[in-house]
Structure 1
Amino acid sequence: MAKIAIINPAFEVSYWGLEHAQPVFGRRANMPVASLPLLAALTPAEHDVTLIDENVEPIDFDALAEFDLVGVTGMSVQRFRMTEILQELKSRDIFVALGGPWVTVEEDYFDDLADVIFIGEAETTWPQFLDEWQQGAHRYRYEQNARTDMSTVPTPRHDLLKNKYYMFGSLQFSRGCPFQCEFCDIIVTFGRKPRIKQPFQIIDELECLRREGLRIAFIVDDNLIGNKRGIKPVLREVAKWQEDNGYPLAFSTEASLDLCEDEELMELMARCNIQSVFIGIETPNEESLKETKKYQNVRERGGTMLEKIHQIQDFGIEVWCGLIVGFDHDTTEIFETQKTFLKESRIAHAMIGLLHAIPKTPLHARLKAEGRLDSNDSQSYGTNVIPQHMSREQLRDGYIETMRHAYQPDVYFDRLDRLFVDGHFRTRVFETEHFRKHPVLRLRQAAFYFTGFAVLFARLMRHTPDRKLRGIYFRQILNVVRRRLNDPAIYFYYVIKCAMHYHHQKMITDMIEHPDALVSTIGNSLPPAKLASGVSLPVLRKPGRSVASI
Structure 2
Amino acid sequence: MIAFVDRKSGDIMPTLLMITPENSEINKFRAHQLNNFTQLTMPYLAGFVPEEYSIRLLDEYTEPILFEKVDLVAITVNTPNAPHVYSISKRFRELGTWVALGGPHVTLNPEEAACHGDTIFVGEAEETWPEFLKDFLSGSMQKAYTSLHVPSLDGLPIPRRDLIVGHRLTSGAVFASRGCPHNCSYCSLKKIYHNEFRTRPVDEVIKDIGSMPNKYFVFWDDNFFADPVYTKALLKDLARLNKRWAAQVTACSCEDEELLSLAKAAGCLYLFLGLESFSEQGLRDANKNFNKIEEYGKVVNKLHRHGISIQAGIVFGFDSDTLEVFETTLKACNNIGVDGVTASILTPFPGTSIYEQYKKEGRLLDVDWDHYNGKTKVAYVPKRMSHKELLNGYNEFRGKFHSWSSIVKRISKSRVNIFYTLAMNYGYKRAYRNFTRLGFGERSDESLGHRIAQHSRNWPR
Shorter-chain TM-score tier:
0.7 to 0.9
Write the distance in 2 (CA, Å) between the matches of 1:393 and 1:162. 38
Question: SS of the counterpart of 1:264?
Answer: helix
The match for 2:410 among 410, 415, 431 is 415
Write the distance in 2 (CA, Å) between the matches of 1:383 and 1:503. 20
Code of the aligned partner of 1:314? R
Query: Closer, same or farther in 2 for the Cα pair 1:382/1:495, shift >3 Å?
Result: closer
Query: Closer, same or farther in 2 for the Cα pair 1:15/1:194, shift >3 Å?
Result: farther
Preserved CA contact (<8 Å) 2:38 2:172: yes
Write the distance in 2 (CA, Å) between the matches of 1:513 and 1:135. 48
Preserved CA contact (<8 Å) 1:404 1:508: no
Query: Closer, same or farther in 2 for the Cα pair 1:49/1:350, shift >3 Å?
Result: same
1:168 to partner: Cα distance: 4.4
Report the counterpart of residue 91 of structure 1 in structure 2.
Answer: 94
Report the counterpart of residue 188 of structure 1 in structure 2.
Answer: 191
Report the counterpart of residue 267 of structure 2 in structure 1.
Answer: 273
Write the distance in 2 (CA, Å) between the matches of 1:82 and 1:329. 35
Preserved CA contact (<8 Å) 2:251 2:299: yes
* Two-structure CA RMSD over aligned residues (Å): 2.6
The match for 1:32 among 31, 35, 38 is 38
Aligned residue runs from structure 1 range 306-325, under 5 A? 306-325=297-316
Write the distance in 2 (CA, Å) between the matches of 1:103 and 1:342. 36
Write the distance in 2 (CA, Å) between the matches of 1:40 and 1:320. 30
Report the counterpart of residue 430 of structure 2 in structure 1.
Answer: 502
Report the counterpart of residue 453 of structure 2 in structure 1.
Answer: none
1:316 to partner: Cα distance: 1.4
Query: Closer, same or farther in 2 for the Cα pair 1:395/1:495, shift >3 Å?
Result: closer
Preserved CA contact (<8 Å) 1:400 1:512: no
Write the distance in 2 (CA, Å) between the matches of 1:313 and 1:375. 44
Report the counterpart of residue 152 of structure 2 in structure 1.
Answer: 149
1:396 to partner: Cα distance: 2.4
Question: SS of the counterpart of 2:73?
Answer: strand
TM-score computed with the length of structure 2 as normaliser: 0.85
Deviation readout 1:453-495 (Å, 9 max, x if unpaired): xxxxxxxxxxxxxxxxxxxxxxxxxxxxxxxxxxxxx435534
| Residue 6 (structure 1) aligned with residue 32 (structure 2) | no
Write the distance in 1 (CA, Å) between the matches of 2:177 and 2:236. 15
Query: Closer, same or farther in 2 for the Cα pair 1:95/1:112, shift >3 Å?
Result: same
Deviation readout 1:119-164 (Å, 9 max, x if unpaired): 2210100011122233333221112112221113221121222356
Write the distance in 2 (CA, Å) between the matches of 1:177 and 1:262. 18
Write the distance in 1 (CA, Å) between the matches of 2:27 and 2:317. 18
Preserved CA contact (<8 Å) 1:199 1:238: no
Preserved CA contact (<8 Å) 2:402 2:428: no
Code of the aligned partner of 2:178? R
Question: SS of the counterpart of 1:97?
Answer: strand
Write the distance in 1 (CA, Å) between the matches of 2:419 and 2:186. 38
Code of the aligned partner of 2:382? P
Preserved CA contact (<8 Å) 2:363 2:381: yes
Question: SS of the counterpart of 1:366?
Answer: helix
Question: SS of the counterpart of 1:275?
Answer: strand
Write the distance in 2 (CA, Å) between the matches of 1:191 and 1:16. 34
The match for 2:175 among 172, 175, 192 is 172
Report the counterpart of residue 357 of structure 2 in structure 1.
Answer: 366
Query: Closer, same or farther in 2 for the Cα pair 1:333/1:348, shift >3 Å?
Result: same
Query: Closer, same or farther in 2 for the Cα pair 1:140/1:389, shift >3 Å?
Result: same
1:330 to partner: Cα distance: 1.6
Question: SS of the counterpart of 2:91?
Answer: helix
1:320 to partner: Cα distance: 0.1
The match for 2:249 among 240, 246, 255 is 255
Write the distance in 2 (CA, Å) between the matches of 1:268 and 1:160. 33
Report the counterpart of residue 465 of structure 1 in structure 2.
Answer: none
Code of the aligned partner of 1:153? L
Write the distance in 1 (CA, Å) between the matches of 2:26 and 2:60. 15
Code of the aligned partner of 1:218? V
Code of the aligned partner of 1:230? Y
Preserved CA contact (<8 Å) 1:159 1:208: no
Query: Closer, same or farther in 2 for the Cα pair 1:491/1:352, shift >3 Å?
Result: closer
1:109 to partner: Cα distance: 4.2
TM-score computed with the length of structure 1 as normaliser: 0.72
Write the distance in 1 (CA, Å) between the matches of 2:292 and 2:48. 41
Write the distance in 1 (CA, Å) between the matches of 2:168 and 2:357. 43
Preserved CA contact (<8 Å) 1:21 1:502: yes
Code of the aligned partner of 2:183? Q
Unmatched tracts of structure 1, length 5 or more: 23-28, 428-489, 517-550
Write the distance in 1 (CA, Å) between the matches of 2:41 and 2:143. 21
Question: SS of the counterpart of 1:351?
Answer: strand
Preserved CA contact (<8 Å) 2:27 2:61: no
Write the distance in 2 (CA, Å) between the matches of 1:408 and 1:81. 33
**Larger relative contact order, structure 1 or 2 (CA cutoff 8 Å, min sep 6):** 1
Report the counterpart of residue 233 of structure 2 in structure 1.
Answer: 233
Report the counterpart of residue 383 of structure 1 in structure 2.
Answer: 378
Code of the aligned partner of 1:361? T
Name the one with the larger helix percent.
1
1:353 to partner: Cα distance: 1.6
Question: SS of the counterpart of 2:211?
Answer: helix
Preserved CA contact (<8 Å) 2:179 2:223: yes
Preserved CA contact (<8 Å) 1:196 1:231: no
1:336 to partner: Cα distance: 2.2
Question: SS of the counterpart of 1:225?
Answer: coil
The match for 1:327 among 312, 318, 321 is 318
Report the counterpart of residue 50 of structure 1 in structure 2.
Answer: 56
Question: SS of the counterpart of 1:278?
Answer: strand
Write the distance in 2 (CA, Å) between the matches of 1:15 and 1:253. 23
Preserved CA contact (<8 Å) 2:80 2:371: no
Report the counterpart of residue 219 of structure 2 in structure 1.
Answer: 219
Write the distance in 2 (CA, Å) between the matches of 1:310 and 1:16. 34
Report the counterpart of residue 460 of structure 1 in structure 2.
Answer: none
Code of the aligned partner of 2:248? E
Write the distance in 1 (CA, Å) between the matches of 2:385 and 2:221. 35
Write the distance in 2 (CA, Å) between the matches of 1:207 and 1:45. 23
Write the distance in 1 (CA, Å) between the matches of 2:163 and 2:27. 27
1:106 to partner: Cα distance: 2.8
1:375 to partner: Cα distance: 3.3
